[in-house]
Structure 1
């Protein structure tokens, strides 16, 4: 996101500039970027101990890159509901998230730094729920909350079209922020309903390693991941991985959830996209990079790369990292 368009250079806003702009109001905080950046506003409300609601409305006049340093120093589950437009987050560690209108994206954040990116003259409106470890532990218990939040970093846990039932709660919260008539209790009910819907899908108790996965199974799962990393240029399938490491498809898929908190398909996609990004930065041509990460048709690779990073491969080609 927020790549230069038509020769227009991106404008950047630093954490120091963001820190100088907030104003306090009962229960929350409002931040409005300087007018030079366009019409860009964020409102944050504390709904409960460990639960916050963030409403973002950005309409930058030029491509905008908003630097973010340690945005969530404590482990945090972030549920983003896209209302209008599209934005992206690119972490210094190579993590990448895209937030689209009509979709719900569930991510975990813990420390790190990166950039939030917005395109010029494109309105972006999002509603986000932030739940910290204390709140998740209250509802899920320490073990399940810890499994959900992981060891740190940034990772997308789920992404799908926003369900109609969720849309009703999201619209009610958006309306309450604009026209506060129902009071904090109604907002709290809507927020907890949204959180419950996502946790129902995400917070399944982790399987016991001793009960469902032997040490040999876990070793084979790590072998499968290493095999994927070593053979990104090959047409890898679940059936091939199963045959190569000696696991059935059910145990391989369940084991990836248990060991890596993702699916084989998603992990393979992440590996391929990050390897391709490095290849393009080093000067590798788009077709060559596509071939080296398993795409035989450059158009398919370009579509996958753009969907993953929010920018086309051609915008990265030849842009070496400083140092």
Structure 2
């Protein structure tokens, strides 16, 4: 009986020792050079990145965070600098299978063009599946929210208009475009509207009804009414049913169409209310965006997050 107990104890000690050696080995930080030229410094297992580590692909791409069996998996931050057209991308959040997957924040920027995008929510690959996004291009700003059942988008002409909307309970601030779609229960379509108010009316339109998303994730009117400004004298009223145009009629404009569109927008501003808090936060983040297009000789928080210097 004692011999059996000692044998069991010996096996248990050997198992614990072996497990401890494996853990220590995986926690040791080493440097690797991969066949594709990338360099890695961090924890490894079976000669692959596994655990915590940082990988660099040339002088302008880096990821620092969790790895599993050679792939980015867990949480981490990725920077891609000096992309075509001098774009820079920073993504921080969850990863799976070497791709963004889960909750995260993605920033795209080109300060020279005054172009910034911040998206926050749940990602699949590089696409925002659910969450909020704000884009600034020169002076104009676009706001978007999406999830599996709701899609909201609107735009304003400048930051002053945006700030008025965010902080005045929608009483002020001029909206140029307003789109809102809500999935109908147990039905394939979305019920909602799309309003666009353009300078001198050209491009102004009103669309209301049931929509379906096409292969490019664009909402198309399936059943409902579309009205659009045609020229100085007429606007066209089109009726759709089951994806087909059934009637079309030109209506005398008489300077009324701009007022109709703006009235529709003002009467439906209330759909923005649940989303303004998060939009306001992202708008502030864009306003504070001061990261350079390159991390050379920089001490910004993004650059300090990595043991790397962009050349």
Shorter-normalised TM range: under 0.3
Structure with higher strand content: 2
- TM-score under structure 1 normalisation? 0.26
Higher RCO, Cα 8 Å, sep 6+: 1
Larger radius of gyration: 2
In proportion to residue count, which structure has more helix? 1
